[in-house]
Structure 1
């Protein structure tokens, strides 16, 4: 007999419960491609951003660098390699991750299961919020209903009316109109992001994720699964990653309510181009004068092009929020800054 539960409960168990997908230490690179795995130039770009934050903070003796949902820790290690000796000596890098610490990670990277109480520096959440469990609501002829799922099969059926909190969030951020319309109720992601901003004493927090805004919500939602490099049905039995795109505009408002003093919401394409990634091919004459250099530059251009491709990784949303400093000017030029 099926054990019907809400999607939020099913995701929590499948991803983070005993024996869950992330709890058991699955390597994300085995299942899906992220910017971190695509190229070390992603870490190099974030290292440049970290230098901007360090300057805005006045180059203090300690700069926190926190990676939330750190996976293998590869992003932190890449940033450490790229920042240069002065800043590297002052960095306090910490990975927030429930999976076991991987072997080979530099000893100086702290590995912890929860957020630090206070951060002065930079927080990165790269493809973290899309894995924060949430409920799904579908509009029916009788009104909105919370969708229930059988974790063993992924089969669904309508449940009861959404909670008052769910209804408030939907009315503000994802109104449902026609029977069959579905929404992924994002207030758990808003709360998760607000918890990051509340811990940021001074500095910058950056969320990078699959995303959408109120003007372009997908009518039938985005819930899906990933396993072994392929998209698979979202069956919350622990065998695959379960993800849904993030309403980053809602998270931005939650961050402002939690204390963010400046906000920038843009795309990865625009953010990385502002940080120096162009995808521009080297001149052809370089192939004759410096063949090895030409090949290296061509490879670099290909990696950058993947990171800023508007139909791929470049289409990801970048939510950047600051506390006590301005959003770095190099990023603020990528889109309209919303000061508060």
Structure 2
């Protein structure tokens, strides 16, 4: 999975970038960036409006989100923003010069650490149940043929026992994704925030409702495809968000919050509600703009789609109001 996604010919290193293959909240609408900007403004106030406010986007694609945040920020905020895209691909030629580009997360961050659909692409191992117990799944990177491999290590087995409980599973029950690598990646990222907020937005699941046969899949050209790890497609799996949150909490030493994207965006003013018809009479052009924004927000808050994503907010050294729907 590591080579398929991030190797020399990996999916995220070559080609046109994620937007050419699948639709994320970042690509769906500027409404998403506008909501994040409201969160950023609240964080800026809580930090006392520092002279430099870091915004680090991990798994930044081609920098689309940072570009949108800069475009929508007020002049005062934009002048103090220090945006950095973290991505292993080569810097895009058309990226604004004020946006930094690097392959690794900065060591020290004061501000906002963003991870929108990054954790689902942090490589992990898959385990399958055989008559002799749980084993790693081996996959032929050319044909996609699957075979059971070595037994799980004690560390992986412990993660599985705690975060993906098995007693109620019948013998022969399918496969699971071992999220320990994601826990470690998120804990490392949170540990780089000196003061601010670490925010992960991703599709995921919780311990009480883990999927019965895992979630590993592939995407290419807007279509779901078999997850053959040959570099030709995205290979992704949903995130065990409660496990990730627990790992970050041990580093941040602050309580976290975990809500759906629908709840989060509504709390940040993007509710998807239709504008009043009275506006059409007073301001027809304004009504059409509001209607378009409501349509975009509706896509982002649809609980059967992007609205079902989970928002993990992990503050570090700062007090933030909870996200409460208006």
Structure 2 length-normalised TM: 0.96
Q: Give the match for residue 211 of structure 1.
A: 204
Is structure 2 residue 94 aligned with structure 1 residue 104? yes
Q: Give the match for residue 81 of structure 1.
A: 71
Is structure 2 residue 313 aligned with structure 1 residue 323? no
Deviation at 1:160, TM superposition (A): 1.5
Is structure 2 residue 290 aligned with structure 1 residue 304? no
Q: Distance in 2 between matches of 1:311 and 1:74?
A: 24
Is structure 2 residue 257 aligned with structure 1 residue 264? yes
Q: Distance in 1 between matches of 2:115 and 2:48?
A: 24
Which residue of 189, 193, 202 maps to 2:186?
193
Deviations 1:265-286 (A, max 9, x none): 1110000100001111112233
SS at match of 1:318: strand
Deviations 1:6-28 (A, max 9, x none): xxxxx101000111111114321
Is structure 2 residue 173 aligned with structure 1 residue 180? yes
Contact 1:223 1:243 in 2 (8 A): yes
Deviations 1:56-112 (A, max 9, x none): 111111111000000010100111122211111111110000011112211110000
Q: Distance in 2 between matches of 1:262 and 1:196?
A: 16
SS at match of 2:191: helix
Contact 2:22 2:220 in 1 (8 A): yes
Is structure 2 residue 237 aligned with structure 1 residue 237? no
Is structure 2 residue 97 aligned with structure 1 residue 94? no
Q: Distance in 1 between matches of 2:225 and 2:119?
A: 20
CA RMSD between the two structures: 1.1
Deviation at 1:181, TM superposition (A): 2.8
**Greater mean alpha carbon deviation, residues 52-61 or residues 279-288:** 279-288
Unpaired runs of 5+ residues, structure 1, are 1-10, 335-340
SS at match of 1:311: coil
Which residue of 39, 44, 61 maps to 2:34?
44
Q: Give the match for residue 148 of structure 2.
A: 158
Contact 1:225 1:233 in 2 (8 A): yes
Q: Give the match for residue 60 of structure 2.
A: 70
Is structure 2 residue 25 aligned with structure 1 residue 35? yes
Q: Distance in 2 between matches of 1:166 and 1:319?
A: 23
Q: Distance in 2 between matches of 1:181 and 1:219?
A: 7
Is structure 2 residue 14 aligned with structure 1 residue 24? yes
Contact 1:201 1:324 in 2 (8 A): yes
Q: Distance in 2 between matches of 1:152 and 1:85?
A: 51
Contact 1:260 1:321 in 2 (8 A): no
Deviation at 1:330, TM superposition (A): 4.8
How many residues align? The count is 322
Displacement over 4 Å in runs of 4+? none
Contact 2:191 2:251 in 1 (8 A): yes
Deviations 1:162-211 (A, max 9, x none): 11111011011012333233110000000000011110000001000010
Contact 2:252 2:314 in 1 (8 A): no
Is structure 2 residue 306 aligned with structure 1 residue 313? yes
Q: Distance in 2 between matches of 1:191 and 1:138?
A: 22
Structure 1 length-normalised TM: 0.92
